[in-house]
Homo-oligomer: A and B are copies of this chain.
Amino acid sequence: MTTIADVAKLAGLSRTTVSRVLNNHPNVAEEKKRLVLEAMERLNYVPNSTAQRLRNQKTDTIAILVPVLTNPFFAYLLEAMDTVATDNNLQLLVCQTRYDREKELNFLSLLKTKQVDGLILTSSENDWDIIAEFTQYGPIVLCNEYSELVNVPTVRMDNTEAAYEAACHLIEQGCKKIAYSYGEKKSSVALERENGFRKALQEYGLPLNKEWIIRNVYDMEDGREALNYLSRLPDKPDAVFTGSDQVATGMIIEAKKQNINIPDDLAIVGFDDQPIASIVEPGLTTIAQPIQQMGTKAMETMIEVILHKRNLSYHEILLPFELIVRDSTNRISFN
Contacts of A253 in B (CB 8 A): 278-279
Q: Is there a chain B Cβ closer than 8 Å to A76's Cβ?
A: yes
Q: Which residues of B contact A57 (CB under 8 A)?
A: 1
**Contacts A50-B50, A50-B53, A279-B280 given; does A79 touch B86 at CB 8 Å:** no
Q: How far is the CA of A220 from the CA of B277 in the complex (A)?
A: 13
CA distance A94 to B112 in the complex (A): 20
Q: How far is the CA of A256 from the CA of B92 in the complex (A)?
A: 39
Contacting residues of chain A (103-155) with chain B, CB-CB under 8 angstroms: 103, 106-107, 109, 112-115, 136-137
CB distance from A82 to the nearest CB of B (A): 6
A312 interface contact, C-beta 8 A: no
User: Which listed residue (B69, B92, B115) contacts A78, Cβ 8 A?
Assistant: B69
- The listed residue (B50, B68, B95) touching A114 by CB distance below 8 A is B50
B279:A50 contact, CB within 8 angstroms: no
Q: A219 vs B78: C-alpha distance in the bound complex, in angstroms? A: 17
24 contacts between A and B (CB under 8 A): A1-B57, A44-B136, A46-B137, A48-B54, A48-B113, A49-B115, A50-B50, A51-B54, A53-B113, A68-B79, A69-B79, A69-B94, A72-B72, A78-B96, A86-B103, A92-B95, A92-B96, A93-B93, A94-B94, A115-B115, A253-B278, A276-B276, A279-B279, A279-B280
Q: How far is the CA of A325 from the CA of B81 in the complex (A)?
A: 38
A281 to B103, CA, bound (A): 39
Q: Contacts A51-B54, A57-B1, A107-B91 hold; do A112 and B75 have CB atoms under 8 A apart?
A: no
Query: How many copies of this chain?
Result: 2
With CB as the reference atom, state the residue of chain B lying closest to A79: B70
Q: What 9 A-B pairs come out closest when comparing CB atoms?
A: A49-B113, A94-B94, A69-B75, A70-B75, A50-B54, A93-B93, A50-B114, A279-B280, A69-B78
Size category of the binding interface on chain A? 35 or more
Rounded to whole Å, the gap between the CB of A113 and the closest CB of chain B is 4
